């Protein structure tokens, strides 16, 4: 019998993938992992049942996570990347033209070691870059250590897994953690995170993420992009003191900046895509507006979880 990998989108609704082959699997001290061949998407990393990225559409997710903030802050010199040691995120950070230093904090050194061989194509030569400081440890503790050392960043990018029940990533959405990340930002700095599925009938998690961010930052923008393997468009949020530079971006300005990047560096993001990403569909806008009055900020003692396996 052909194995299927379900991803739950809403109560009673799942998106399934055909698993053609199990390439590798295992369990670290942090999480279970699989490398699977998924139908048209090719090799995919799956953590505790949740798809993280596939060869076929990882650019849709990672370029959406990184590029709007990078276009708003092309002058960013220091970046903190929380998560992403398994490939694809770091190469995008290294595209910043003024970058001087990037600190990558990840919780799972064991899985990173696997990824360096099994996902070498996603890493490229990024791990050899002299501007990189790669740190493994609990994100809470590492963020606190950076703050104690007086570190400040122009961009903080959270490339973390779904906030499933029992996962370490669920804690990273709590107001206590968001506040600590805010305090690491230099003047004009921006924080970027994935914010759950853009499903107008199941957007409770996103509404709580927005409530949490709005309690910590003066300005918050939500945007979406379709990640086909996820089965639904995905939400991302940018937060900071002033997002006027983000909202002022025009496609022509973005195209001029992208033209300075190495040929083929991006395959999913451009000026028109940026405009589309920030134009939220009416159904989602209205659903989030209805949810907002009762959406409580996420706290360590009142977490928010998503369900990914149907």
Residues 131 and 83 in one domain: yes
Mean pLDDT of the chain: 95
Give catalytic residues, as residue numbers: 159
Give pairs for 39-48: CB < 8 Å, separation 24+. 41/17, 41/228, 41/229, 43/119, 44/17, 44/229, 45/86, 45/115, 45/119, 46/5, 47/161, 48/161, 48/164, 48/167
Residue 152 covered by a domain: yes
Residues in the chain: 310
Same domain membership, residue 111 and residue 37: no
Domain total in the chain: 2
Domain extent for 21: 4-54
Would strands 32-38 and 13-27 be described as parallel, antiparallel, or unpaired? antiparallel
Same domain for 45 and 176, yes or no, is no
Q: Within a domain: residue 307?
A: no
Residues 17 and 127 in one domain: no
Structure confidence at residue 164 as a pLDDT band (50, 70, 90):
confident
Based on the fold, state whether residues 39 and 62 are members of the same structural domain: no
Confidence class of residue 308 from pLDDT cuts 50, 70 and 90? Answer: low
Check residue 109 and give its pLDDT.
Answer: 96
Tell me, yes or no, whether 103 and 252 share the same domain. Answer: yes
- The verdict on 251 and 108 lying in the same domain is yes
Tell me the pLDDT band of 2, cut-offs 50, 70 and 90: confident
The SS3 assignment for 43 reads strand
Domain identity same for 10 and 102: no
Task: Give the domain CATH number at 34.
Answer: 2.30.140.10
Residues 138 and 276 in one domain: yes
pTM for this prediction: 0.96
| Whether residue 30 is found in the same domain as residue 63 | no
- Same domain for 165 and 44: no
**Dist. CA 67–CA 305, nearest whole Å:** 26
Categorize the per-residue pLDDT at 61 as very low, low, confident or very high, splitting at 50, 70 and 90.
Answer: very high
Mean pLDDT of 43-51: 93
Assess if residue 299 is contained within a domain. no
Whether 158 maps to a domain, the answer reads yes
Residue 17 lies in a domain: yes
Look up residue 7 and give its two tokens. 């991803």
User: Is 278 a member of any domain?
Assistant: yes
Q: Is residue 290 part of a domain?
A: yes
For residue 276, give the CATH number of its domain. Answer: 3.40.50.150
* Claim to verify: residue 174 and residue 286 sit in the same structural domain: yes
* 308 part of a folded domain: no
């Amino acid at each position: 019998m052909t194995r299927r990998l379900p991803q739950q989108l809403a109560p009673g609704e799942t998106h399934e993938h055909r698993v053609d082959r199990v390439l590798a699997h295992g369990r670290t001290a942090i999480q279970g992992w699989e490398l699977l061949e998924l139908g048209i998407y090719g090799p995919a990393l799956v953590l505790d049942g949740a798809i993280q990225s596939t060869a076929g559409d990882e650019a849709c997710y990672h370029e959406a996570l990184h590029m709007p903030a990078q276009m708003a802050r092309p002058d960013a010199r220091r970046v903190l990347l929380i998560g992403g040691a398994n490939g694809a995120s770091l190469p995008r950070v290294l595209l910043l033209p003024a970058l001087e230093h990037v600190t990558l904090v990840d919780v799972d050194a064991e899985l990173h070691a696997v990824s360096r061989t099994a996902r070498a194509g996603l890493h490229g030569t990024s791990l050899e870059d002299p501007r990189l400081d790669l740190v493994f440890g609990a994100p809470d503790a590492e963020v606190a250590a950076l703050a104690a050392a007086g570190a400040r960043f122009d961009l903080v990018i959270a490339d973390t897994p779904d906030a499933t029940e029992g996962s370490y990533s669920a804690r990273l959405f709590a107001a206590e953690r968001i506040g600590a990340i805010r305090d690491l930002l230099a003047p004009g700095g921006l924080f970027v995170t994935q914010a759950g599925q853009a499903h107008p009938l199941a957007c409770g998690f996103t509404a709580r993420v927005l409530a949490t961010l709005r309690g910590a930052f003066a300005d918050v923008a939500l945007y979406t992009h379709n990640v086909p393997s996820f089965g639904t468009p995905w939400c991302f949020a940018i937060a900071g003191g002033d997002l006027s530079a983000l909202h002022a971006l025009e496609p022509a300005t973005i195209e001029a900046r992208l033209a300075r990047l190495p040929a083929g560096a991006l395959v999913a993001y451009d000026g028109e895509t940026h405009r589309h990403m920030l134009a939220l569909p009416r159904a989602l806008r209205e659903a989030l507006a209805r949810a907002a009055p009762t959406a409580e900020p996420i706290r360590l003692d009142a977490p928010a979880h998503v369900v990914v396996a149907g």
